Amino acid sequence: MSVAAEPVAAPRRRSGVWVFIREQALTVYAILAFIYLLLPIAVVILFSFNDPKGRFNYVWQGFTLDNWRNWDGVPGVRSALVLSLEIAALSSLIATALGTMIALALVRYGFRGRGPTNFLIFLPMSTPEIVLGASLLVLFLNMHLATGFTTILIAHIMFCISYVVVTVKARLVGFDRHLEEAAKDLGANEWTTFQKVTLPLIAPAILAGALLAFALSVDDFVITYFNAGSEVTFPLFVWGAARVGAPPQVNVIGTAIFVLALAAMTVNIIVQTRRGRQEKGTE
């Protein structure tokens, strides 16, 4: 290693060549790491335009738009996607409501039992998904509750709550409470203050939590696999299809989900950057 050769008390600005090489080495490493991260995504997108001969979509055969035009040409794929979106919409809605309430309580009120509450929020996130899924299945079996739509929904709400709490809490910490006090001084009651002042201010935090919950729900395979019964969500469809060779339509939907998620994130970042600049401007 070149590192050991450097004398301990070297003058700070030694010959720039070494420094230059070392800095470039880090940059080259970063570029390689980015390629590694993005390569599979490129493969997913590329092979959504492939025209495979036979069952396996492994080898590039030729460009076609047919898979995109005919995205629901494989039996079951459309209903699986619809089910995934329904579950995600419902579970993110409920988990966001429950999680936001917990976050509000944690950030804004002093109460006994804060430690155990934080622990209970943290625990599901640090439990392997397979244990979460399996234990829920055992509960449903013992309660003689048939697995299906309802049990998927219950499971998704369960694992989303903690993530919503963490996300909303992180954004609530810098919240300026003087605005609420001002509203109360002006005669607004507690509910009006919440509705007219607090809610609009914390709306971005709630939205961030809801988006995360939605994304987690759409993507979940393991917990759903244990509790789906005969229902098939999109990840379960992919799992089934993978056993016999996944059709290119899977890549099409994967690409579409990727592009939508990327667009949502980009908008979020732009809005945040703007807001940050505005805040700096008013100071």
Partner 1 sequence: MLHRHRWLTPYLLLAPGLAWLAIFFLAPLGFLAYQSLQSGSFDFGYTFSWDWSNYWDAISTYRGHLARSFIYAGLATVIAFVVSYPLAYWIAFRGGRWKNLFLLAIIAPFFVTYLIRTLAWQNILADQGMVVGVLRDLHILAPDGRLLATSTAVVAGITYNFLPFMALPLYVALEQIDPRLLEAAQDLYASRVKTFLRVTLPLSLPGVFAGTLLTFIPAAGDFINAQLLGTPNQHMIGNVIQSKFLELIDYPAAAALSFVLMAAILIGVAAYSRALGTERLTG
Q: Which of residues 253-282 bind partner 1 (CB under 8 A)?
A: 254, 257-258, 261-262, 265-266, 269, 273
Q: Using CB under 8 A as the criterion, what x/- string covers residues 40-79 for binding partner 1?
A: xx-xx--x---------xxx--------------------
- Secondary structure of residue 48 in the 3-state scheme: helix
Q: 21 exposed, middle or buried (CB, 10 Å; 0-12, 13-18, 19+)?
A: exposed
| Nearest by Cα to 5 from 115, 152, 15 | 15
Nearer residue to partner 1 within complex by CB, 165 or 202: 165
Nearer residue to partner 1 within complex by CB, 141 or 203: 141
Q: How far is the CB of 282 from partner 1 (least distance, A)?
A: 21
9 binds partner 1 (CB under 8 A): yes
DSSP characters for 11-73? -SS--HHHHHHHHHHHHHHHHHHHHHHHHHHHHHHHGGGB--SSS---S---B-SHHHHTTT-
Which of 74, 80, 87, 121 touches partner 1 (CB under 8 A)? 121
| Nearest by Cα to 254 from 218, 223, 217 | 218
Considering only residues 174 to 203 of the shown chain, the ones binding partner 1 according to CB under 8 A are 189-190
Considering only residues 75 to 114 of the shown chain, the ones binding partner 1 according to CB under 8 A are 98-99, 101-102, 104-105, 108-111
Nearer residue to partner 1 within complex by CB, 90 or 238: 238
* Residue 254 Cα to chain centre, angstroms: 15
